[in-house]
Each structure stands twice: as structure tokens, then as C-alpha cells.
Amino acid sequence: MTDRLFSDRRDAGRVLAGLLNHYRGLPDVVVLGLPRGGVPVAYEVATGLGHPLDVLLVRKLGTPGREELAMGAIAGGGVIVLDEDVVRGLGLQSDTIRQVAEREARELARRERSYRGDTPATDLRGKIVIMVDDGLATGASMRAAVRAVRQRKPARIVVAVPAAPESTCQELSSLVDEAVCATTPTPFFSVGESYWNFTQTADEEVRRLLRAAASARAGAPPARTDLAILRSEVVPAQDGVPSDEVLFGIVGDARFVLIGEASHGTHEFYAARARMTRRLIEEKGFVAVAVEADWPDAYRVNRYVRGRGGDATAEEALGGFQRFPAWMWRNADVLEFAGWLREHNDRLDERARAGFYGLDLYSLHRSADEVVAYLEKVDPGAAERARDRYSCFDHSDGDDGQAYGFAAAFGAGESCERRVIDQLVDLQRNALRYQRAQGLLGEDEFFHAERNAAVVAAAERYYRTMFGGRVSSWNLRDRHMADTLFALAEHLGWQRGEPARIVVWAHNSHLGDARATEMGARGELNLGRLVREHNPEDCRLIGFTTYTGTVTAADDWGRPAERKNVRPALPDSVEELFHEVGHKEFLVDFTHSAGAADLLRRALLERAIGVVYRPGTERQSHYFHTRLPDQFDAVIHIDETGALEPLERTARWERGEVPETYPMAV
């Protein structure tokens, strides 16, 4: 597994064509490929949009004696762009530069004849010119190409590349009318790092693609062999749930089964995930469900489903989920699952009961309170020390920690970093003494307290980095979730005397391997990647997708839940392709379906709706590129889905448009 997003240049070109779709059907558009590597990319753009393809030659001006170091670039028409920093830094003389430029100009002319023959260059006057390369590093060659094109008086210049540093893309944006960079990898090492296959493009390949583009019928529909392949390999999934034979075949002996969701507010995702989890608990010995929720809130549910605590009903046990977005866990589907898990556990002895745990880190203040409350019972003196250590948070209002993080990051308040680490170490140092008095219950309650102390330490750092910018807060959060999952597996395995098998519930963006998506190109990791790296043969990642329907989501963070219409998926997306298969619901098992895996390994868009849904900016807000078979082991598609039902149904939610297929309330 690598972080490379594109299979090859043709795959990258199809992605760019999707991003440039607003030029489809417009008159007087010309696509120019920068030979040689840019031509296969440009061919897909030109044929995908239905516009003519031509080439614009550019050559790097290599520094004498250090040819790999570019001192500039030269384009047709004698246009030269120099890197003044390199020229001044190496003290290059004008005669030296002229000799290199003359040599490269002769090579430009030779290649021009080789590629185009006697065919004249396309007239660009008054045209929209889309300039395409396979990627940019410094952008010197593209800047030279832009200057050469501008001399030919086009109406508009667009630069489009699959990969470039963010700084280069921004610089080009100031030079042309539009710059489209499909990905901006961070850190950026080279163009080739974005491709699986980055072999050199031969001159004959350039000539062949130019001939093919000239003879292609604009707008001719491609043969849909992809649909035939998918239709032959998809597996039925009634209400999003495959048969036991299929499910157990995918899971095998894996200890970690991560089941995602394409939104935080879709009934079918929650219901199908719960039904699959029930089968894994009943038939395959899974002993825990770990969810994308705060540890103390989920642990209250854990106490209830294991016959502990003071809550009399499942709904009471879900009462800890008060922080936005409460509907993620206070909903009809989780309520039903918690009730079932309690009934299931009541038939088992204490050690065999399955638990319910949270992996997230937002509960800074509540977790601190839980640590103090635990120590009050076992060591009042230690409780007083913990209270003093955590008092450094007292100056910040609210429960989410953002006020503390803002103040600490910008020096306006005290940093609690050392204090919360000292508290965690202190608790761990006294582990045996605290656990001895209470047996199995004592082991669990100490583990609960220790995890809360770890949450406080992680949350303190998370909220500081949210504003301080020292590390990615996303990476810190997902590392914490992975650490919590592995600690939970160790704790439950030690109690049971055998490896613990755990189901994880979280969003696709956390559970699909980030290395197969744009996230990986940006330097972001996630829980799915970390679990795969930690247990490469001992985990399974299962995702969900949908084409349209309704969803429970908010307009913005902290706003009330609404029942929103989900727009039909965008062209060139996984969801649109699955919709065209023509089945209401199905599963694709990439480990056993080689044809589907090969087909979907090209970069496609994938939709991700979180707790906020913004249909007006859907492409920018909710889509990213992915190689689906590398992101997941299997994917379940439900073509039309309905909104998750919150336990507190607000007037805003009630007013939402309800399709006829929306399920009856549980």
C-alpha cells in the first residue's frame, strides 16, 4: 500500500476531465498537452470533454554540469523563463544561458516536426486554452508555456495538472485565468510520487494519442464494460446486510472489523451495521463495539449493556450523549442495538458479556471529572492532587475545550500539558493497588479511569494544536482513537485469556485506509490506516455508499438537526457508477472480486457527509478522490437511503421532506 492516488497518467487525465467538466460543450476550446508526459493526461481531458488536442513543447534548461537542476525553461516561439535565484546563486553568465537555450530550441524544433509533421499548430487566437501536464514541481516549464501561449492571443488560459505543491498552484493561479490542481500532496517530493505507474512516455505514444484524438468522435459514449463487470460480481445485501456466508467469509479470523458510514445521519447505515455486528457477536465471538464517540458517554452505555450502573433503560443509558451532534448516538437505531445487547448479555456470565466503548477525545472536562470521581472512591488524597492538576482548565468556559485550546495556543492562558501527563503517569503507577480490592469490576473501573486520564492528555494537546498549528489535529485525533482501540483490545484480551475481537463503528473517512485517498496525499492518516499497519492480516475495513435520499445533518456546526435531501451523486463518482449498476442494494467484496477491484482501482470521487451537509458547495465540501479497493476490503451500496431518526425530533427535523421509501419509526 502506498499514498499514490493515480494508477497512471491516463487515470489522472480522467480525474482532471471531471474537474474541468464546466468546459464541456463550450465552443472554441483547445486542450494543449505538454510533451511527453502531459500528453496522455491531456488526451483523456480532450476526449472526455469533446475538444481538440494539440501539443505545446517546452524544454527544461539544465544547468551546465548539473543538468538535473533547472535554471529555467524554453517554449515554442523562443520564450524563455529563467529561475533568477539559480542564475544569481551560481553566477551563470548570459553566454552560458544562450548556448543551452539554443541547443534546447533545436531539440524543440525536432520534436515539433516529429509530433506534428506538416500539420500546422492550432490557431489559439480567441480560444479557451486548457494547458495540461502530468504534474508540476517548481512550475518553471509551465510558466514558460503560459508565456508562449499568451503571445498567441487566447481568450482564456487554464492550467490543469494532477499534482503540484500548494505554493506552485497558488503562484500559477495569479498568472492564468484558472488553475486546477487535482491534488496538492504534503510534503511534495516529486511528481512521480503521485502515480503507481510513472514510466516514461515515448515519442510514438505521443504521436499515437494525437492521431487517436483527431479521429475520435466528440461526445461518443464509451463502451460500458465497467457496468458489465460490476453486475457480474456484486453480491446481494438485503437492507444493506449480506448473508452470513458472505459476511463471515469477508471477516474470516480477523480480530478488528471496522464498519463505516458515508454520513453521520443515515438510518440504513446504522441499521445494517448494527445487524452485522449482532451476527458477529452471536456467531463469531466478538466481545466489544468501539464507536466514534467520547469515552465517558459510551462507557455509561457499556455499564448498562453489561448489567451495571444506575440506568434502568437503554434510553436513559444514552443520556450522556448531550454534546453536538447528539443524534449520532441518541437515535432509534442505536437505542434498539443497546437494548438488544443488554438482552444478549443477560444470558451470559460476567466475563463473556460484550461491551460498548468510545474512541474519541472531545470530552476534556467530563473525562477529568471521571478521573477525580474514581479516585475519590479509591484514594481521596490522589483525588485532591488530580483536582489540583486539572484546575488549570478552570479558566476556560464550556465543555469542549476550544476556549482552553485557543488561550493556550496563543499564550493568553496556562498550558496544562505537564499537569495532565503527570496525572496519567500517577494513575498508572498505582494501577495494581487500585485494582486489587474490587476484582473484575475493579479492573474495569480502573481501566475506565485510566482511559479518561488518557483522553484528558490527548484532548489537551488536540485543542492546543487545533489553533497552534504544530501538528495536524486530525492526525492526533485518529492516533488517539487507534491507541484507545489497541488498549481496549489488550485489556479485554487479558481479562478473557484470548485475543479480543472488536467491531468498530465510525465514518468512512476514519475507517477507510487514508493512503488510498486524497487524505494520504495531504499527509493525513486515519484509524483505518493505523489498524491496517498494526494488524495487516488481522483486520477488515467495510464501507457504505449511497446515491440519493435524505439525511439527518445540520447547516453548520452546533446548529439544530434537520432532515435534508441528499443530492444525486456527481458524475465520475463511485456512487454514480454504483447507481448505474441498477440494483437497489449490493455488496462488492474486493478480496474475492478481482474484476471489480481492477476496475475501481482508478481514482474516482467519493462522497462524505458528516454532521454538517452543505449541498450548495457539495463538490468542495463533501467529495474527495479515492482508489476504492485499496481504501476498503468491501463496500455496501444502498442506492436510496433515509434520514436517521433522532430521539429528540425537533420541529426543523419534522419539516424535512420525507420520501415515500423512508422507514417506519422504530
**pLDDT (0 to 100) of residue 397:** 53
What residues does 550 pair with on adjacent strands?
Answer: 565
Q: Look at the alpha carbons of 553, 559, 562, 566 in this order and tell me if their dihedral is positive or negative.
A: negative
H/E segment holding residue 113: helix 94-116
Strands (E), 281-400: 288-294, 355-360
Q: Output phi, psi for 67, to 5 deg.
A: -60, -25
Per-residue model confidence (pLDDT) at position 304: 97
**pLDDT tier at 664, thresholds 50, 70, 90:** very low
- Among 291, 252, 247, 250, residue whose Cα is nearest residue 272: 247
Which one-letter DSSP state was computed for residue 411? T
Q: Each residue of 470-508: pLDDT tens digit?
A: 448 899 999 999 999 999 999 999 999 999 999 999 999
Paired sense of beta strands 29-33 and 53-55, if any: parallel
Average pLDDT over the chain reads 88
Residue with cell 489553533: 467
| pLDDT for 601 beyond 80 | yes
**CA nearest neighbour of 329 among 662, 665, 646:** 646
658 pLDDT higher than 80: no
Question: Which residue blocks in 497-639 are alpha helix, DSSP H?
Answer: 508-511, 518-521, 527-534, 574-581, 594-600, 618-622, 628-631
Q: 85 or 628: whose pLDDT is higher?
A: 628
| DSSP type of residue 636 | E
pLDDT at 25 over 90: no
d(CA 315, CA 336): 9
Q: Is 111 left (phi over 0), alpha (psi -120 to 50) or beta?
A: alpha
Other CB atoms within 10 A of residue 410 CB: 11
Q: What is the mean pLDDT of residues 55-73?
A: 77
CB 321 within 8 A of CB 330: yes
Asked if residue 367 has pLDDT above 50, the reply is: yes
**CATH label, 9-222, candidates 3.30.750.200, 1.25.40.10, 3.40.50.2020, 3.90.420.10:** 3.40.50.2020
Average pLDDT over residues 616-637: 94
Q: Write out pLDDT tens, residues 200-259.
A: 998 889 888 988 888 774 445 555 678 888 999 999 999 999 999 999 999 999 999 999
SS (H, E, C) 420-488: HHHHHHHHHHCHHHHHHHHHHHHHHHHHHHHHHHHHHHHHHHHHHHHHHCCCCHHHHHHHHHHHHHHHH
Give dist(CA 5, CA 626) in Å, integer: 7
Place of cell 508540476: 136
| pTM > 0.85: yes or no | no
How big is the CA angle at 534 (ends 1 and 289), to the nearest 5 degrees?
A: 115
Please state, in angstroms and rounded to a whole number, the distance separating the CA atoms of residues 212 and 53: 10
238 forms beta bridges with 241
* pLDDT reported for residue 407: 56
Residue 562's H or E segment, with its range, is strand 562-566
**189-202 pLDDT tens trace:** 889 888 988 899 98
d(CA 226, CA 408): 53
DSSP state, residue 174: T
Nearest to 45 by CA among 17, 64, 22: 17
pLDDT (mean) for 121-144:
89
Phi, psi (rounded to 5 degrees) for 254: -60, 140
Distance CA 574, CA 494 (A): 41
Q: Are 505 and 290 in contact (CB under 8 A)?
A: yes
Q: Note the pLDDT of residue 470.
A: 43
Beta strand segments in 302-451, E:
355-360
Interhelix angle 417-429/439-468, rounded to 10 degrees, is: 160
Q: What pLDDT, on a 0 to 100 scale, did the predictor assign at position 660?
A: 38
Using CA atoms, how far apart are residues 210 and 117, in angstroms rounded to an integer? 11
- pLDDT over 70 (residue 312): yes
**Cell matching residue 57:** 513543447
Share of the chain above pLDDT 70, in %: 92
What is the 3-class SS of 273-315, one letter each residue? HHHHHHHHHHHHCCCEEEEEEEHHHHHHHHHHHCCCCCCCCHH
Q: Which of 140, 190, 187, 141 is nearest to 162 (CA)?
A: 190
Confidence band for 437, pLDDT divided at 50, 70 and 90:
low
Amino acid type, 14:
R
Rounded Cα–Cα distance for residues 209 and 199 (Å): 16
